[in-house]
Structure 1
Amino acid sequence: MKTFLAYSLVVILLNLTGTAAAENWRWVNPIPTGNNINEVSVAGIQCAWIVDDAGIVMHSSDGGLSWTQQDVPVQIGWATLTFVDSLYGWVAGGIANPGENGIIIHTSNGGRDWIQQTGGINHFIRDVDFVDRNHGWVIAQSRFDGPYMIISTINGGILWDTLAVVSGYALYAMDFVNATKGWAVGKRVQDSACVLYTADGGGSWTEQLILNDTYFGDLCFLDSLNGWATSSCGLVFHTTNGGLTWSDQLPPITIGGRSRILFRDAQHGWIVSGTGTRPILTTSDGGQSWIHFQSPTSASINSIASWDFHHAVAVGAHGYIFVTNDEGANWTETSYRRDWAGVCSGVFSDSMHGWLIGGISDGNNAIDKIWCTTDGGQFWMEQSLGINTSLKSGCSADANTVWLLGHNGIVLHTDNGGAFWQQQTALSGRNILNFDFHDTFNGAAVEGNSIFITSDGGESWSEYSSTYWGSYSDVAYADALNIWAVGSILVNADSFVYAGVVNHSGDAGFTWTQDTLEGFGELIHVTFGNPSVGFITEHYGRRLLKTVDGGTTWIENPNPCRNVIDWINATNASDIWAVTDLVEIVHSTDGGSTWTLEPLMYAHWLRTLVAPDPRHVWAIGTDGCVFRYGEILSPVPDNDKPVVATTFSVSAYPNPFNPQTTIAFDLPADGRVILTVYDLTGRIVEKIVDGVLPRGSHTLTFDGSKYASGIYFAQLQAGHSSRVQKLMLLK
């Protein structure tokens, strides 16, 4: 049964507890998100919130060490957020297109519940600021190139009023210190950077500072007197009299761009920048001098927030999150990720068993990598392939039998769940585009105008060639006898006109019947939910075809959107999953009659999805990003083994630790136990124990004194049961 491939992973643990989690989308790599994080806000004791450019909101209650996704009524792309205390917060944003409205969501209990506020803001929102639970403002724009406005609320966002249309200016950020006094920065539309000031809550604005520069990008005011602003040329300006006069403070390194500035008191401040060398600057004398710390990543740092001048959290592109406890001298990444950028795809035979594949460069050559999970993706193990074939796709017949397709027709096969892979060479030298297996013996593959059939698990193949010049792009089984291949065929050689072609076999590939679909262009994907119900996608025409009579007739089905359907899979006759325009995931539960747009998880390109059944779906994006839909189930334990998963536990204390932590675990029966510590790359750091232990409670010590600060994983194995505990070493 066909499943397009997913992504290669190293040893990884999903941050989930219990035997099942809610049936929704969650990130697998990176964690907690792979999107750009635009904003972070802190409040209370160690509480923090972030929002990424897909509108996903996450919360930390331990100073940024771990994050939990919060359920929101609507995801707001390219949003900003602010919290005034540990309970009250707002997320605001919108799409910069004519006719699109700004969106604001609000929580009054720290994010446990969010509600959408519909207070009459019909514009694109660029910034939000609140000084207390009632008084707030947004910078809004009526359309992409329209005038900027200041809109305010005095009742926590229930109602909003437009106070000022600030014509002739582009505003990027604002900061209010009370209900009446505030500042905004940006640029004059025609020439220079500017700082504006209001003393009446935003109703009227006056220029305070004009600079012959591109723009002012950010500002921070502590009170009605003391404030700072950053310019695009890398200067920092400071006022001690509410903006009547400003003095420039020159950092030791060019910050450039829209840098972010934050002060906790009159002396201690931070600057982060997403351009140049991504510097992080700190000051302890009000900005008179700045200490430059090298950014912990080459990715852009988009925002910083701090509880005090010692403890801060910085966020940036690709989901990077860092915390510091020593004023920025050292940073610890609390997001964790694997180097999966070269991974192209993967295979899942069911909700528990999967293989993720791709290539990783060793500096000179690309090396094939594959990782296997047997517990629904909570833990991954690397499996050796032994050769480099530039793997690109694969399919499975069951949890043990898998085929992987490489370039030049190289096929790798396992019948023991990946413990050993054997190279099959019968298709070597062929440019195989796609293949599918119905069971452990019978499979089909396509190349050009040829279809190949195997009945011995891929050891040998027979070829069927079309009499017409064309090219097949996909092949799929409807059942053991019915096979479908789709592609395009040249119908007019003089004008190079192509039509869609559908080829069908009703006898397991011995004979074929070819139909040309006039009026349809290249057909790229075919999938069947059962022998009667199937779908075909057209590329350039963006159309979707459906049959309910086993292919006797094909009718045009409603397209779930106006975009190209890049991938489609019918897990049964009713449940259909598809990717459109390389970004959106859509789902139908009524055979394609109606479609639901799934929540946006990844704001960049998706490579494909893997849907082994209607309730478990894996999505694979660029830059090593993987997320999944569905509940996480504990594997069914082997009754012959003494350890039962439901009574098997592991914990660590203290955690975070420096330099030692105690790992405690309970065994309900005697048996062999292996306790191994891995680092973030999946490399074994230390094997603490490998031997037979009696039932009961046990404690062992992990000493991290010779290891660097960061995240580690302690994996406890006993029989077929496995548990993983995340460890945080902070030095």
Structure 2
Amino acid sequence: MKLFTTYLFWVILSSNLFAQWYQQNPKFNYDFYSVTYQNESTVWTVGSEGILLKSNNGGETWEIVQLGVSNDLYKILFIDSTDGWIFGSSSLALKTVNAGNTWTQINIGFYFNPTSACFTDKNYGWIIDTFFDKIIKTTDGGETWSATYNNNCSSIFFVDSLYGWCCGNENKVFKTTDGGLSWNFYYTGVYEGIYDCFFLNRDTGFVVGTSNRGLGGVGVIRKTTDGGFTWTVSAYGNQSDHWLNKIYFKKIDNVYVGWAIGAHGQIFHSTNNGEIWQNISLGYGYPQLRDICSNNSSKIVLVGVPGIILTKNNTQSWQNINGITIPLESVVFVDNNFGWVMPTPGFSNLLAKTTNKGENWIVMNNTNTSANSIFCIDSISIWLTYGQDGFLKRSTNGGISWDNINSGAGVRLNSVFFLNNNLGWAAGQYGNVAKTIDGGNNWEIINTGLHIYGFQKITFVNENYGWAMGNRELAISYDGGESWEFITLDYSLTDIFLISETDGWITTANSIIKTEDGGHNWRIKNYYSVDLSSILFKDNTTGWCLANGGVSTQNGALFSKNGGDSWTYIYRDEVNNVRSLYVNYDNEGWICGGRGIILKTNDATYISNISEVPELLNPLNGALVGSSVNLEWTIILFAQFRLQVSTDNFNSICYDTLISIDYSKTLNNLKHKQSYYWRVRGENELGLGEWSQEFTFTVDTTISTDVIDLTNEFYFSLSQNYPNPFNPNTIISWQLPVSGFVILKVYDLLGREVATLVNEEKPAGSYEVEFDGVNLSTGIYFYQLQAGDYVESKKMILIK
């Protein structure tokens, strides 16, 4: 058996993503799949990308333990205070015999992707593998392993070396009385899907799952007292389509205390050996609860996806340790200290607020609804719009409590804006505008007659002049919203910002539009390679906006010092979509976006000397092109781009231009048989960057394609789905260099197959298929392509 030891060291997670921006939330950018107590105070959790966290105080604070692996880690367990195991993707098994001070990688001898593991003592252990449908067993503490057929299960539990049970997504529970050599199965309920099991002894056990497999349903808990032969219902959930996927018991003071957890914050709790279950669900802010553990003092630690770490004891409510981790839509501040973030509409009931510039974010779960928009008048007066019927919520005590307000609009309100405590407007579907002059006690409804898409945002600069943003329509009011003048544009609008009755800006999917005369005339600046949004200006010259592109390197924050005529990247994010930006008058800035990311800079006007050099991407060096070519390069921070083209190796220049934001330029009407040289460098007010390497391409106007790769490289590849996140449809693309049998399947986070998209022979070529997630719940899913020896998986996110 091949062994090698990875020695651990403690590291502090750096929150500095780029020079002037640092991460305030969440503490850890990982998903968490498994958690376990080692002793009364020490608790461990594992998750995505090789993350291992350790807490010495029952989960209150955590430190990263560096393992030196990037595998997703799905299970951690401790047999006693010294011996423990970690199991992860791509056959990873790690063992400790010294309380986690060192972890030794074990070669089990089988390829596996684990979804469950169980040890009854230091010698006997079992692993569930869903990749090849195996149960892998050891009887000598991991020295040797054997494998048997899995029964299509994803969870396994043994009470001793002989008696064990396993279950999957069907309405069956398999039982063994000989340590897994043979299995018998028993049915639970018709149509049910059973996802996890836990037994108190050889007779009494519990399973959890869904009441209606594959067709939606509610969480179900079933109990047996005869070893699994018959099952009775202990509890049903009360929210449709929200299953339970984990059940856990801890014996405390001679009583088994139980927990059943699942999707969208579903939690059931029993304090009497599983006889009676109480629903204490957390709500929509916690998409997938994955694992739970307790010590003898009833200190609970709960983990899940995305990035969920919660703790609780008998005398306190749930404490959110990792911060808000769901996608964020808006960040707003009312002064230099007090601010709020709001999740993507329809995704969560949670909000988060700060009173100290975001150094600490307090997660709030008291609105009982998912907000469509948020507006802060001051630190105590907060407004939300929510639902589909013209409702708002108002807080006059900083979010401690909320009043429900019916505007009478009868339609979804997408935006709310107050000029002061009394005068405010809300706007939404069909162009409806609701106006109040008494702080929201009474509302006047103004129907502008716009289409169902209606208004997405409303803003005013004084009691008379304001804008409302439609799909391609900008509505302007000169009389406090009583009447509106419409301007139809050739672009889908993404944001608007007014600084006065004359000066305003609009962002679209690929352009920034500016007016200096109240909207009568417009200047348009097109940027075809990025999607722009969340624009704001502090004066007529200094402004910011966000960019989200077709590739992750385009995501980031842009800064302009000339009224929006040109822009440079001051922050770039290759992981998260960035959704909202706010900058105060001291130039402190915040960005929020995917996975609960909140970033802060102390100076959003910071520009540094250019240290990066652009890399040329397309066409490849030496490529043959048609009469036009699209030149592409990498984006670098703090720079505009100088593009130069030459026909004589830069002894002379035939084309020279300075480009803002874009990382590409299309050249047309190129000369037949001509060879061209091209290069790019960054420039800003502080100086010039270094030139990139020089590439060449040759023109042949007789070819039909714009670019031909002379290497003619064609290889296996599985592309990232698009769009991602998606609701409910997305496209998955791949290419095959040779003919072969192709299997493309979709799995959930527990490894359960949810769809087979391709299962047939395919000739060489490029392909795409549409995946429909309409019958699935919000969460993270995986799709896997198998073609001969080639196997690749990717992650995608469904948000409803």
Deviations 1:597-640 (A, max 9, x none): xxxxxx9889xxxxxxxxxxxxxxx9999xxxxxxxxxxxxxxx
Matched, 1:93 2:47: yes
* 1:401 Cα offset (Å): 2.4
User: Does the Cα contact within 8 Å between 1:228 and 1:239 map onto a contact in 2?
Assistant: yes
The reply to whether residue 117 of structure 1 matches residue 138 of structure 2 is no
SS of 2:410's partner is coil
Quote the residue 2:116 is aligned against: 173
Counterpart residue type for residue 411 of structure 2: T
2:226 maps to amino acid: D
Q: Is the 8 A contact 1:532 1:550 kept in 2?
A: yes
How far apart, CA to CA, are the structure 2 residues paired with 1:256 and 1:186? 22
Label 1:485 to 1:73 Cα distance change in 2 as closer, same or farther (>3 A): closer
User: What is the CA deviation profile of residues 298-321 of structure 1, one whole-angstrom value per residue up to 9, with x for unaligned ones?
Assistant: 311021122346531211100111
- Partner residue of 1:291? 232
Alignment of 1:711-722 (within 5 A): none
Alignment of structure 1 residues 577-588 onto 2, 5 Å: 577-580=590-593, 584-588=597-601
Matched, 1:437 2:450: no
Question: C-alpha separation between the residues in 2 aligned to 1:349 and 1:72?
Answer: 26
Q: 1:9 corresponds to which residue? A: none
Change (3 A) 1:556 1:548: closer
Deviations 1:381-434 (A, max 9, x none): 111222313322222212332210122322101122211111235x44475453
3-state secondary structure, aligned to 2:58: coil
2:246 corresponds to = 303
Distance 1:554 1:72 in 2: 33
Quote the Cα distance in structure 1 between the aligned partners of 2:207 and 2:494.
52
Question: TM-score normalised to the size of structure 2?
Answer: 0.55
Q: What's the % identity of the aligned pairs? A: 22
Q: 2:560–2:568: 8 Å Cα contact kept in structure 1?
A: no
Distance of 2:532 and 2:544 partners within structure 1:
11
Residue from 105, 119, 129 that aligns with 2:77: 129
- Determine helix, strand or coil for the equivalent of 2:203: coil
Structure 2 counterpart SS, 1:166: coil
Task: Give the match for residue 331 of structure 1.
Answer: 277
Deviation per CA, 1:493-512, whole angstroms, max 9, x where unpaired? xxxxxx7242222x6x2864
State the shift of 1:513 in Å: 5.0
Correspondence for 1:270? 206
1:381 aligns with 2:381: no
In structure 2, C-alpha distance between the alignment counterparts of 1:573 and 1:393, rounded to whole Å: 26
| Partner residue, 2:497 | 476
The aligned amino acid for 1:316 is G
Which of 172, 180, 189 is the aligned partner of 1:253? 189
2:375 is aligned, of 347, 369, 382, to 347
Residue 408 of structure 1 aligns to a residue whose secondary structure is: helix
Task: State the SS of the aligned residue for 2:264.
Answer: helix
1:273 to 1:501, Cα distance in 2 relative to 1, 3 A: closer
Deviations 1:622-674 (A, max 9, x none): 9999xxxxxxxxxxxxxxxxxxxxxxxxxxxxxxxxxxxxxxxxxxxxxxxxx
Structure 2 match to 1:79: 33
Q: Distance in 1 between matches of 2:777 and 2:135?
A: 38
In structure 2, distance between residues paired with 1:124 and 1:545: 30
Secondary structure (helix, strand or coil) at the match of 1:346 reads strand
Structure 1 residues 554, 340: CA separation in 2 closer, same or farther (over 3 Å shift)? farther
Instruction: Give 1:457 deviation, angstroms.
Output: 2.3
Could you say what secondary structure the match of 2:35 adopts? strand
Structure 1 residue 452 displacement after superposition: 4.5
Distance in 1 between the 2:183 and 2:492 partners?
Answer: 69
Report what 2:141 is aligned to: 201
- Quick one: which of 504, 519, 523 aligns to 1:514? 523
Decide whether the 8 Å contact of 1:73 with 1:115 is kept in 2.
no
Distance 1:513 1:469 in 2: 12
Counterpart contact for 2:414–2:457, Cα < 8 Å: no
Residues 202, 529 of structure 1: CA spacing in aligned structure 2 closer, same or farther, 3 A cutoff? farther
Cα displacement (A) at 1:445: 3.2
- Contact kept? 2:385, 2:416, Cα under 8 Å: no
- Which residue of 1 is the match for residue 153 of structure 2? 216
Asked if the contact 2:234–2:277 (Cα under 8 Å) also holds between the matched residues in 1, the reply is no
Relative to structure 1, is the Cα distance of residues 446 and 288 closer, same or farther in structure 2, using a 3 angstrom cutoff? Answer: closer
| Structure 2 counterpart of 1:504 | 515
User: Contact between 1:282 and 1:290, CA under 8 Å: does it hold in 2?
Assistant: yes
Distance in 1 between residues matched to 2:726 and 2:369, nearest whole Å: 13
What SS is found at the alignment partner of 2:430? helix
Letter in structure 2 aligned against 1:569: Y
**In structure 1, C-alpha distance between the alignment counterparts of 2:52 and 2:599, rounded to whole Å:** 25
* 1:516 Cα deviation from its structure 2 partner: 3.3
Question: Aligned-pair distance for 1:210?
Answer: 3.0
Inter-CA distance 138–473: structure 2 relative to 1 (3 Å threshold): closer
The counterpart of 1:533, out of the listed 519, 523, 542, is 542
Aligned-partner residue type, residue 87 of structure 1: S
On the 8 A contact 1:237/1:246 being kept in 2, the answer is no
Q: Which runs of 5+ in 2 are unaligned?
A: 1-24, 284-348, 350-366, 608-636, 638-723, 728-775, 780-800
CA 1:428–1:264 in structure 2 vs 1: closer, same or farther (change >3 Å)?
same
Deviation, 1:443, is: 1.8
Distance across 2 between alignment mates of 1:473 and 1:324: 48
- 1:314 is aligned to 260
- Any idea what the Cα deviations from partners look like across 1:310-338, whole Å, max 9, x if unmatched? 53121110011121345545432223547
Cα separation, 2, equivalents of 1:210 and 1:519: 54
Letter in 1 for 2:373: S
Give the structure 1 partner of residue 17 of structure 2.
Answer: none
Partner SS for 1:123: coil
Q: Is the 8 A contact 2:176 2:184 kept in 1?
A: no
| Cα distance per residue 1:578-598 (max 9 Å; x no partner) | 345687544433216599xxx
Instruction: State the SS of the aligned residue for 1:311.
Output: strand
Query: For residue 65 of structure 1, what is the aligned residue in structure 2?
Result: none
Using a 3 Å threshold, how does the CA distance of structure 1 residues 510 and 219 change in structure 2: closer, same or farther? closer
SS at match of 1:536: strand
Count of residues in correspondence between the two structures: 494
Question: Are the counterparts in 1 of residues 172 and 187 from structure 2 also a CA contact under 8 Å?
Answer: yes
1:172 Cα offset (Å): 2.3
Q: Using the alignment, how far apart are the partners of 2:246 and 2:265 within structure 1?
A: 12
Q: Cα distance 1:85–1:256, how it changes in 2: closer, same or farther (>3 A)?
A: farther
Q: Determine if the alignment matches structure 1 residue 155 to structure 2 residue 98.
A: yes
Say which structure, 1 or 2, has more relative contact order (CA 8 Å, 6+ apart): 1
Q: Is the 8 A contact 1:543 1:556 kept in 2?
A: no
Is residue 38–residue 44 contact of structure 2 (8 Å, CA) maintained in 1?
Answer: no
Match of 1:281 among 217, 222, 226: 222
Matched AA of 1:438:
V
- TM-score, structure 1 as length reference: 0.60
Q: What's 1:555 paired with?
A: 567
1:235–1:248 contact (8 Å) kept in structure 2: no
